[in-house]
Copies of this chain bind each other. A is one copy, B any other.
Amino acid sequence: MTPAEHSPLIRKLSAFVALSEVELAVLARLHRRRRTFVAGRDIVHQGQSEQTAYILSTGWVCSYKIQADGTRQIVDFQVPGDFLGLRSVLLRTSDHSFEPVVDIEAAEVLTKDLLDAFAETPRLATAILWAASRDEAMVVEHLVGIGRRDADARMAHFLLELGSRLLLVGLGSKAGFECPLTQYHLADALGLSAVHVNRVLRQLRETGLVTFREGHVTFHDLDRLVDLAEFDPAYLDHSGPLLN
């Protein structure tokens, strides 16, 4: 694991707050309890209480809800620099489950340590409120995607958002990114069948927009893809620190 000063969370929060030495030290302390988790086994179960939060350092996680009839709705994926279960700690009961998509490394953050960190450095609390607001904006986009976008635009929007999120934490490039998701993940996130996902991906590839193959997403024509998705990245707020 990288030292906390180079952690993806710190890269991400730096987009909002120019972090001081004290704030960096408090963040470093939150990274102390390092854990590893294997792919495919839930870290947190829906309905679980008294869990802790985690800061994801490496790997991808999927957060989802299972309905009583067994269908799964993936709410979002977490990438390095994201919190896992921050909302659940504050709301005391997890409203969803977390499953590592690949083997991951994460720092365990006890509720008390988190609340103490906020008390010590209120700007850090504000920065984390910013990150939570950004997470909420992403869920809103997924809601609009499922409610109002056709399958092509929905997929295009989703891949552009992932690319943008990864860029902010130093992963991937404008040309594309490594992506461990399966077509089943995409289907459960986008409200499509796996067959439909396959068809949409083929069409996006054949029209020269984007290829997702063998764990890699390659953007061929970003401008046209952005147009198709009506992708406006303002909600990801990558315009530089607001708090100096």
Chain A interface residues (CB < 8 Å from chain B): 16, 47, 65, 67-68, 71, 73, 75, 86-87, 90-93, 95-96, 115, 118-120, 122-123, 125-126, 128-130, 132-137, 139-144, 146-149, 191, 230, 232, 234-235, 237, 239, 242-243
Q: Give min CB distance, A126 to chain B, whole Å.
A: 5
Cross-interface CB contact of A126 among B73, B115, B143, B234, cutoff 8 Å: B115
Task: Say yes or no: B93 contacts A237, CB within 8 Å.
Answer: yes
Task: With a 10 A CB-CB cut-off, give which of A71, A90, A119 has the most chain B CB atoms.
Answer: A90
Task: Please give 20 more A-B residue pairs, beta carbons under 8 A apart, in addition to A47-B232, A118-B122.
Answer: A16-B90, A65-B144, A67-B148, A68-B230, A73-B143, A73-B144, A75-B143, A86-B133, A90-B129, A90-B133, A90-B237, A91-B237, A93-B235, A93-B237, A95-B141, A119-B122, A119-B123, A125-B125, A129-B129, A132-B136
Q: Which residues of B contact A128 (CB under 8 A)?
A: 129
Majority secondary structure, A binding face: helix
9 pairs, A vs B, C-beta closer than 8 Å: A65-B144, A73-B147, A87-B133, A90-B126, A96-B140, A118-B125, A139-B139, A139-B143, A147-B191
Q: Which residues of B contact A230 (CB under 8 A)?
A: 67-68
| A137 to B148 Cα, complex, angstroms | 20
| A133 to B135 Cα, complex, angstroms | 10
